[in-house]
Amino acid sequence: MRLFFYLLSPFSLRLGYVFCDFITLVALALNTKIVKISKININIAYSSKNKEYRESLLKRSIKQSIRSYYETLFCLSRSQKILNKSIFKVENRFLYSQTNRDFGLILLSAHNRSVDLLLNQLTIQEDVTAIFKPIKIKALNEYVRKNRQKSGSSVFETNFTGVKELFSALKRGEAVAMAADQVPAKNMGVYENFFGRKVYTTNLIPSLHSKTKAPIVSVAIHSDSHTNQLYIRYGSKSAYKEKSQYNAKTMNKEIENIININPEDYNWEYKRFKKQEVEDRSIYK
């Protein structure tokens, strides 16, 4: 399986990006599904921006999304030594190291570039427990799960058992990580504001914080638009201070802050607005 992923990503990241940029031109020319969905989401999120801004962001975001796919393939097929060289720098690392760890640490993230590469780099610091949505192909799902655990993390499927493991890890004073920007399963979320729309939002992270008092630090991978180098950035100081009323609204605002650092890095091709408080079935049609 590793050879399969290597054959899909035979080049270094830098050379791979050149190949990805060619695919981007094709995707834009054919107006593929990821282009259509990304355009809808960007128009919603940045409705106050002019048309030229949104069209430019769309093109740049498709390029970075396709590059992030390559980053994931690269992560699934390379040694830890090579992967460690893929991150140029880490910003605000002190936010990670100086938080109160009596009750563990909650790492809040979003689908900003490759979540596999991010999880891999987080586990260099210490063991991390995370949950993920299983892949339908069993053999592929098992390989990805094992790869995510190779550097010390523990990963579980997004179900009752997985949630229970997150609570247990926090009570042991360990770190847990979760990308909290996708639409949760039925009865697993609340409707809260996200880029001006009331969308169905997971309330798992607020619940973890409420029951364990574990501090929350946002973290994501970003790219330097001038050098194409990748870096990890931890959130602002206010992002991890203990909040008596940390809720889904607060969490969504932090996710918006992650995205707004460099909007083109976000994977806009997810149907994030498909389940809204005011139903709009035609939004992605």
**pLDDT number for residue 242:** 55
Two structure tokens written together for 108: 């809040």
CA-to-CA dists, residue 223 to 59, 199, 231, angstroms? 16, 28, 6
CB 264 within 8 A of CB 63: yes
Contacts of 160 (CB under 8 A, 6+ apart): none
So what's the pLDDT on residue 241?
56
Q: What per-residue confidence (pLDDT) applies to 239?
A: 53
Integer angstrom CA distances of residue 105 from 26, 131, 138, 240: 42, 15, 31, 9
Q: Beta strands 154-157 and 128-132: pairing type? A: parallel
Contact predicate 276/191, CB 8 Å = yes
Among the listed residues 13, 131, 127, 128, the one whose alpha carbon sits nearest the alpha carbon of residue 78: 13
Is residue 154 within 8 Å of 145, Cβ to Cβ?
no
Note the pLDDT of residue 238: 53
Q: CA-CA distance, 87 to 74, in Å (whole number)? A: 13
- CB distance 194 to 252 below 8 Å: yes
Sequence ranges of the domains in the chain: 2-265
pLDDT tens for each residue of the chain, 285 residues long? 999 999 999 999 999 999 999 999 999 999 999 999 999 999 999 999 999 999 999 999 999 999 999 999 999 999 999 999 999 888 887 666 766 667 789 999 999 999 999 999 998 888 899 998 888 899 999 999 998 887 778 999 888 899 999 999 999 989 999 999 999 988 889 999 999 999 999 999 999 999 998 889 999 999 998 888 999 999 865 555 555 578 999 999 999 999 999 999 999 999 999 999 988 888 998
The first and second tokens of residue 133, run together, are: 């949505």
